[in-house]
Structure 1
Amino acid sequence: MIEKRLYKTIFYDRHIDQQAKIIEFEKWLMPLNYRTGIVNEHLLTRKKAGLFDISHMGRFIIKGRNSLKFLQNIFTNNSQALNELESQYTIISDKNGFAIDDAYLYRFFNNEYLIVVNAGNRLKDFEYFKLHAGKFGDVEIIDKTFEISMLGLQGPLSKKILQKVISRGELPKPIRNNLSIVKIGNAEVLLARTGYTGEPLCFELFINKKDSLLLWDIFIANGAVPVGLGARDTLRLEACLPLFGHELGTDPEGKEIPIFSSMLSLAAVSFSPLKNNFIGKDSLIKQFSALKKILNKDFSLITGLPRRIMPFVIRDKGIARHGDKVYFNEKHAGFVTSGTAVPYWDITGEGLNTNLTDKSSIRSIGLALLDSYIWEEDIVDVDVRGKKMKAAIVPYHLRSEAPPFSYPILYDKEKLYGQEKKTPLFSFKNDSALKNIHLLLENTYKNTRWRQKECINLIPSEQTPSRLVRLISIMDPAGRYAEHKKVKAFYDSEILYYQGTDFIAGVEQLLKEELSRYLCCREVEVRLISGQMANTVVFSALVDYLNRAYKKIEPERLGYVLNHHIIRGGHLSAQPMGALKDFVFIDTQTDKPAVIDFPILKDNPYKIDIASTAKVIEEYKPQLIIFGKSVMLNKEPIAEIRSIINALGIECIILYDMAHVLGLVGPYFQEPFKEGTDIVTGSTHKTFFGTQRGLIAVNYQKPEPGYEFWEAIERRTFPGSVSNHHLGTLLGLLMAAYEMNFFKQEYQKKIISNAKSFASELNNLGFDVAGDKDISFTETHQVIINFGYSEGPQVAKLLEDNNIIVNYQASPYDEGFTAAGCIRMGVAEMTRFGMEEKDFQELAQFIFEVVINKKNVKEDIKKFRKGFLDMKYCFTEKKFEGIINKIIETI
């Protein structure tokens, strides 16, 4: 009799020390659970940090001159999309589109790749790789499974633990699948933002065997909880992650499961032309074609993908297991692929105030391979040992987009599908319309008085318009239409579509002239009603302009775009998830929108690294560069980048989205067109004096080629984006423009001096103020304070409870806004209400008392605000009392 060889990872003795229950798993002796048990290990991973020995997984190094060609052929994903320090989920497909295995591909170094495969498939995969590598010449495949250890550190506290123990290097960028190389003590660690738990904070570590035990001990000493295979399975099931042999491979009847049966395969399969004819491509295209129709509830190609993996929740008492049959309308419709009872933390609160409690519950959930015509909300029967139990098909069991925690989603039809009645912030419970109206008016009054008379308003996106601006914004034009466009037959005269519009047409022309004078440019489009819309119009017009030669074919999208990433404070409207989404091409190299991020300085993540940016521009030759951010402490290097573009001879348009700093244009901040900007966009209500609108400005003139671009902007404004362009706020904006041109020098100088004074005093009080101390931290109206990971929302709420209104802000190192570690403040509004440098210094002291000393200063703030009720930098009503009274009589 041949003795079966069983492997042990280097952590085996540590598992024994932790009283682990050891089982045989894929020829390895591995911990099923520790003394705490599977349920507690699952729960502690969700609330704290779980430490997983995953050294049983297969690990191969692939290198050689032709390694990339090999990877592109053997894997379903686009391996060429990986830059250095990036990773991706991928699948090894056979020629028929069935999974041989799923895998993770890592590129820690430029000249080699690391592949992680399932433990039970290691030898099979290795032989399969060697079989196909021979076709590609210089490809070397090295099995490193027994030389490199692998740990998983998953859960809300994993980031803090790593930050505490890393001695050199940095965490990967706060985006999933990013990598870094760090040192913990003297041990070099390959660190990845990957994992198999569904946690938003997830890390996997590759360690030299000699350093492995030291790192295990370090993580345990710093609060990580050892977690065995049992909880690893319940965690991945709750996250709806596939397991080979269950959701991939063969089904309980022995039939092979199509790769696209798993929705995660959408992220694992690429049809990029760079991949040519990879193994299984034709079959996968057929599956994908079927899936696209199925997702539209068109089942005409269902034979190409007869079944899909769907999450379900058992509604009766009982637990579904792998292999249990599922019935729909009394007919056999598939099998359970994974099922068990999974614990979860009970939740209290709503929205941002949602919290995991100290109480937990259990639910019976699973994944099933079901006929493709079965859909979310359908009710099926699961046959569990001869007893049929009701189960609901649901979209997911867990959500992870609100770091640092993941949150269980419980099956409740009304809540899950948006039909639950929400409790309004104030209730309209009366049957009487008159009572409802009175209640609305009363609450409107209370809210306005609170914000205008009792609060210190520091949100940098906001600005209270003057009384004159507000007054004329509600006059007759507010209910009128004045659509118009240029007609070349009439020598580009503006033709209005409605009568009775002479007044507002004149207002619009005057507004263009005032804003042109303010911005020092020739043309301004003022019909846009938001800054986001302004950017959308520019992107749309640019596509139109670039395709102007011939319009009978599908238009080409924008080439490479260089901008600020949203995590680093970039405007949402300049992101491929925002206004840029439909206008930029998909880069076949990366399978992602062709958007490149500005490099930033290591010692100041709020500032562009100009030298590195020059290299990026030379490499990518961007067609559009977008400056401007929502987190803006510094001037943008417009002149420097324009010089680089000119030196390289690149045709590139520079757009400056000045939404936050539009009211600062001038000698104290920046003069964009003098410095080399082609287009300025912005919203008119942050540092500018309101109302809430948007604009586009250029300096083109006929017969410059760029003037055709301007004409495209006008077309994409109307009829492309607006019809009625909100004439009331247009009228109000003219008054605001008069104010700005009259008071701008004094106002702008005071904004910047106030912000610097505010930031410096906060720093003196011990706060961690972001920015360059040598320039008093800021060159704009904004001030940023770092409070530590995920502390921002709590600090913002604490200040709001004391009538200091700020907003929480993610830092360049945070995974998302729910994990924001900063608060963002702006001095524009309160400067306009008369606050000086000394007043902001006093305000800094109030913030110190609230945040550090936990003192309630609400009444003190009310008294403080009484000194700042009269707006400055605007025209006083006394000068226009007669005409104002006449205007009021018409309301």
Structure 2
Amino acid sequence: MDLKTPLYDAHLEAGGKMVSFAGYMLPVQYKDGGVIKEHLAVRNQVGLFDVSHMGEVVYEGKDALANLQYVLTNDFSNLEVGRVRYTLMCNENGGVIDDLLVYKCSDDKYLLVVNAANRAKDVAWMKQHLFGEVAFSDQSDEFVQIALQGPNAKEIIGKLTTEEEIPKKYYSFTENANVGGVTCILSRTGYTGEFGYELYCRPEDGIKLWKLLLETGKEYGIMTCGLGARDTLRLEAGMPLYGHEMNEEITPFETDLSFVVKMKKENFIGKQALVDKGEPKITRIGLQLTDRGIVREGADVYFNEKKIGQTTSGTMCPFINKACAMALVERDAVEIGSPIEVEVRGKKITAEVVAIPFIKK
């Protein structure tokens, strides 16, 4: 049975069209919006998302850092308190178990944010590989997570907290910010390709914070946004999605995420497999249709009549008004500007290889 986030009633009140997603009932869009309108609100003004379905786990103790260094691909030895870092978690074969964010709260305490659909799997994996003096806890049910995304986000937050409490750098956070009387983690992060914040508070404060942000944001054109716009925004920004651009069979190097894999680290799970596999044989590319139509995931990609791979995500990107997709294809088969074909419902339509991200802002 699907769970409800603490903001469920607020979504119904706002006319949210609720759907099942990652074990939760969440709004895919709202009656006064719709995917395109919500997408454009984030690009031009500001949008508000309930992302409370995401998971949060905590490593705490003398060996917390050593555990992260072993179970995750990125290097956290130089991460400063108050900063956030994107990373992957691999299996022994070098495939991706999940992608996640790591928040450094202190030298011996780290908060990790994982994908909702992978929460149980991630927690089991992390527990299986614990060692030394470390306390591990799944605190997912203790947080409401709200994303405030768009160019007007700073003005809204500026009205609700002091300048000192607003994180200044991208991928930084304030752990105990007072936002309109609600104590929360205030983070300069997001999954839209826009300036914005993510706020983490206790479940009992969720409705208050949600309504406060909506009320304060009225003069800035704020809109409630659902899963539909969240997906079109991330794709337009070229951001990979677990289960599409990455999975347990695809290595970070095969999906163009080598920048979060630090091979100079002494060791981490999957490192040896990545060494043994050698140079990747596939890579992730962006493509933009030059024909009419929309490409979804799983469409075959052709170059010079030869099948070179498949699309992993695709949609019409509202801000740039182009149909775009990402694909995993044979490495070095094509380059930026190469004309390709994509098979949609038995018919080949034309496209061009373009740089990721698709949006240039």
Question: Which runs of structure 2 are paired with 1:298-313 in the superposition (5 Å)?
Answer: 305-313=280-288
Tell whether the 8 Å contact from 1:168 to 1:183 is kept in structure 2 after alignment: no
1:106 and 2:106 correspond: no
Q: How does 1:189-200 map to 2 (within 5 A)?
A: 189-199=184-194
Percent identity of equivalent pairs: 38
Name the structure 1 match of 2:255: 262
Aligned residues: 354
Residue 266 of structure 1 and its aligned partner are, at CA, apart by: 3.0
For the Cα contact (< 8 Å) 1:168–1:184, is it kept in 2? no
Match for 1:229: what amino acid? L
Gaps of 5+ in 2: none
Evaluate the alpha carbon distance shift between residue 196 and residue 249 of structure 1 in structure 2; reply closer, same or farther with a 3 A threshold.
Answer: same
The SS at the match of 1:51 is strand
CA contact (8 A) 2:298 2:311 kept: yes
Alignment of 1:304-343 (within 5 A): 305-343=280-318
Q: 1:144 aligns with which of 114, 121, 139?
A: 139
Name the residue aligned to 2:355.
Answer: 395
Partner residue of 1:206?
200
Alpha carbons 1:94, 1:279 under 8 Å: kept: yes
Runs of 4+ in 1 over 4 A off after TM superposition: none
SS at match of 1:249: coil
SS at match of 1:222: helix
- The one-letter code matched in structure 2 to 1:151 is I
Amino acid at match of 2:251: P
Distance 1:233 1:241 in 2: 9
- Counterpart among 245, 268, 286 of residue 278 in structure 1: 268
Whether 1:72 and 2:69 are equivalent positions in the alignment is yes
Q: Which residue of 2 aligns with 1:37?
A: 34
**CA 1:313 to 1:168, structure 2 compared with 1: closer, same or farther past 3 Å?**
closer
Distance, in Å, in 2 between the alignment partners of 1:169 and 1:386 is: 57
Q: Equivalent residue of 2:140, what SS?
A: coil
Q: Report deviation, 1:167.
A: 4.8
The farther-off stretch of 36-45 and 145-154 is 145-154
Letter aligned with residue 325 of structure 1: D
Q: Report the equivalent of 1:18.
A: 14
Q: Which SS does the other structure have where 2:65 is aligned?
A: helix
Q: Quote the Cα distance in structure 2 between the aligned partners of 1:49 and 1:398.
A: 20
Give the Å deviation of 1:397: 4.1
State the match for 1:377 in structure 2: 337
1:145-160 → structure 2 map (5 Å cutoff): 145-160=140-155
What's the CA shift string for 1:189-215, capped at 9, x where partnerless? 11111111111x121111112211111
**Is 2:252–2:258's contact at 8 Å kept on the other side of the alignment?**
no
Q: Which residue, out of 237, 240, 250, partners 1:239?
A: 237
Residue of structure 2 equivalent to 1:735? none
Question: SS of the counterpart of 2:185?
Answer: strand
CA contact 1:324–1:384 (8 Å) conserved in 2: yes
1:325-380 Cα offsets, whole Å, 9 max, x none, are: 111111111001000112116xxxxxxxxxxxxxxxx3210101111112111111
Task: Give CA-to-partner distance per residue, 1:738-765, whole Å, 9 cap, x none.
Answer: xxxxxxxxxxxxxxxxxxxxxxxxxxxx
Pick the structure with more strand per residue.
Answer: 2
Query: What is the distance in 1 between the residues matched to 2:316 and 2:346?
Result: 19
Report deviation, 1:286: 5.6
Checking the alignment, whether the CA contact within 8 Å between 2:316 and 2:322 is kept in structure 1 is: yes
TM-score by length of 2: 0.94
TM-score by length of 1: 0.39
Which among 41, 59, 63 is matched to residue 60 of structure 2? 63
Structure 2 equivalent of residue 363 of structure 1: 322
Cα 1:109/1:312, change in 2 over 3 Å: same
Partner Cα distance (1:286, 1:40) in 2: 47
2:180–2:212 CA contact under 8 A, matched in 1: no
Amino acid in the other structure paired with 1:230: G
Instruction: Please report how far the alpha carbon of residue 185 of structure 1 lies from its aligned counterpart in structure 2 after TM superposition.
Output: 2.7
Aligned AA (1:280): G
Q: Pairwise CA RMSD of aligned residues?
A: 1.5
| Alpha carbons 1:108, 1:180 under 8 Å: kept | no
Contact 1:108-1:190 within 8 A present in 2 as well? no
1:90 and 1:105 in contact (8 A); partners too: yes
CA–CA distance in structure 2, aligned partners of residues 148 and 341 of structure 1:
33
CA shift, 1:49, in A, is 0.9
Q: 1:267: Cα distance to partner? A: 3.0
Secondary structure of residue in 1 paired with 2:308: strand
Instruction: Determine the structure 2 residue equivalent to 1:731.
Output: none
- 2:78, 2:90 → 1: CA distance? 19
CA contact (8 A) 2:288 2:354 kept: yes
- How far is the alpha carbon of 1:398 from its aligned partner? 3.8
Shift of the 104–69 alpha-carbon distance from structure 1 to 2, 3 Å rule, reads same
Q: Which residue of 1 aligns with 2:167?
A: 172
SS of the counterpart of 1:150?
strand
Shift of 1:137: 2.4
Q: Distance in 2 between matches of 1:115 and 1:267?
A: 19
Contact persistence 2:252–2:261 (CA under 8 A): no
1:7 aligned to 2:3?
yes
Q: 1: CA distance between counterparts of 2:164 and 2:12?
A: 33
- 8 Å CA contact 1:108–1:179 kept in 2: the answer is no
Partner of 1:119: 116
3-state SS of 1:80 partner: coil
**8 Å contact 1:167–1:185 — kept in the other structure?**
no
Alignment partners' CA distance in 2, 1:169 and 1:12: 32
Match of 2:213 among 208, 219, 224: 219
Q: Deviations over 1:461-483 (max 9, x none)?
A: xxxxxxxxxxxxxxxxxxxxxxx
Aligned partners of 1:168, 1:225: CA distance in 2, in Å? Answer: 24
Q: Which residue number in structure 2 is paired with residue 87 of structure 1?
A: 84
* 1:372 partner letter: R
Give the aligned residue type for 1:218. L
> What one-letter code is carried by the residue in structure 1 that aligns with 2:232?
T
Q: Which has the higher contact order (CA 8 A, sep 6+)?
A: 2
Deviation at 1:386, TM superposition (A): 0.4
- Residue 159 of structure 1, CA deviation: 0.8
Equivalent in the alignment of 1:520: none
1:59–1:115 contact (8 Å) kept in structure 2 = yes
Residues 329 and 244 of structure 1: CA distance in aligned 2, closer, same or farther (over 3 Å): same
**Deviation of 1:139 (Å):** 1.7
Of structures 1 and 2, the larger Rg is shown by 1
**Which residues of structure 1 form unaligned runs of 5+?**
251-255, 291-304, 346-361, 401-406, 408-891
